[in-house]
Structure 1
């Protein structure tokens, strides 16, 4: 269920095209759900999974943790679910001795950029700008530019 992104229509508005949903599903292969379940989070209720965060602690250093993918049911956006997931991820990372959190997003995802900034993330330097935001070109492969975020947290 978590391994596939979907296009949602709410009140006649489509949130993702099938192509966008397909692109998103490639960011969440099964291996993340298999190998990072201990550092990933799910919010669910009687209706099922409402939001999730896939994240992990860096294997190559003891300071960093990374938030890879977050999803919130579009009908429930704006209710603080992503904020709750991030806060809990920060808390658990700090308990594990992590002092830095990293994340990335597409330069086209203005909502994600605004959300990360509101959560206290700094936008890292890039090699160019898109819409006034620093971007790292080809970060995830040719044509896959990304905005990179960094946040220091207290231990």
Structure 2
């Protein structure tokens, strides 16, 4: 992929491209957990990767407005053709840089306990893994919680 990859801040208009592929990329219906509001309100802190003009991946995240030390990654997707190329690591790295620039020292994310690929990926990136946490997202909706501490920003 290399130099053919373009990694940029997302724009609100990227929503239609992203939502048009997420179910296919996941192999199941996941559209409901990525409403348009995330790209309308958090596109500046989210990223899109394009390869030869086509969507290769994306990360939707934001600094927490309620926890000044934290940033949160809500949704990440990589086209199946680009999995294993290091694209997800690059997206996370770009988000870590943004979080540090925003003076955040913790990045958090969650997933379902069945998502073993996500759990393995986050563990490999140095996230601590807690859970499954029973009823995290309401009755009978358990989640695995990820947290990674970032180096203190310079300054």
Common fold: TM-score over 0.5: yes
Q: Which has the higher helix share?
A: 2
Instruction: Provide structure 2 residue ranges, at least 5 long, that are not aligned to the other structure.
Output: 1-16
2:151 matched to 1:145? no
Structure 2 Cα separation of the partners of residues 119 and 46 of structure 1: 27
Residue of structure 2 equivalent to 1:99:
105
Instruction: Provide structure 1 residue ranges, at least 5 long, that are not aligned to the other structure.
Output: 9-14, 125-133
Residue of structure 2 equivalent to 1:85:
91
Secondary structure of 2:23's counterpart equals: coil
Residue of structure 2 equivalent to 1:32:
38
Structure 2 Cα separation of the partners of residues 68 and 84 of structure 1: 16
The list of structure 1 runs, each at least 4 consecutive aligned residues, that deviate by more than 6 angstroms after superposition, is: none
Moved more, 137-146 or 89-98: 137-146
Structure 2 Cα separation of the partners of residues 80 and 45 of structure 1: 13
Residue of structure 2 equivalent to 1:115:
121
Structure 2 Cα separation of the partners of residues 61 and 140 of structure 1: 19
How far has the Cα of 1:137 moved from its partner?
1.5
Normalising by structure 2, what TM-score? 0.82
Output the aligned Cα RMSD: 1.3
Secondary structure of 2:55's counterpart equals: strand
Structure 1 Cα separation of the partners of residues 134 and 31 of structure 2: 21
2:4 matched to 1:7? no
Q: What count of residue pairs does the alignment treat as equivalent?
A: 135
